[in-house]
Amino acid sequence: MFKRDRRTAGRFAFYARHSLKCRHGTGIHSWWEPLTPTNEDRNAGDNRCEYLRLLPGNHDECTRVYSMRADTESLNAQLEHAFHKNRLPAWGQQRQMIIMLLACFAQNSWARHVCHREAARQQAPPGTAA
């Protein structure tokens, strides 16, 4: 179970409900754990979002929500390593923006191609390739 609280400027804080059976008795301990970074996390240099998820692994929507994360992280790593010392090969903000937009366009084009290929494969009669 999770909840969302509205913060300032249209931002939200997400919380997950945790319950654990007490190992010393018969009671159950329950609490709301924040899933978004807290001030204590920032002071400690911790990134809570890397370790906690809004949906558990057995939730129906978990696969849909988290399936693209590895691809996104891979794209970010490719962009960082593609440029010498993590610098874009362009002078000026407008030219750098064009490079980033073209990289995103290429990634989205590939994702669209894969999506259409998979849809065609699923619509093909059994035993034939799309």
Contact 49, 36 (CB under 8 A): yes
Q: Tokens 């590895």: give the residue.
A: 70
**Computed over its alpha carbons, how large is the radius of gyration of the chain?**
21
For residue 75, being part of any structural domain is answered with yes
For residue 62, being part of any structural domain is answered with no
Looking at the structure, do residues 73 and 41 belong to the same domain, yes or no? no
Which tens digit of pLDDT belongs to each residue from 42-93?
A: 898 888 877 777 777 777 877 777 776 666 667 777 777 777 666 777 788 8
Looking at the structure, do residues 42 and 75 belong to the same domain, yes or no? no
For residue 111, being part of any structural domain is answered with yes
Which tens digit of pLDDT belongs to each residue from 90-104?
A: 788 888 888 888 888
User: Which domain does 114 fall in, by range?
Assistant: 68-123
Domain count, the chain: 2
For residue 56, being part of any structural domain is answered with no
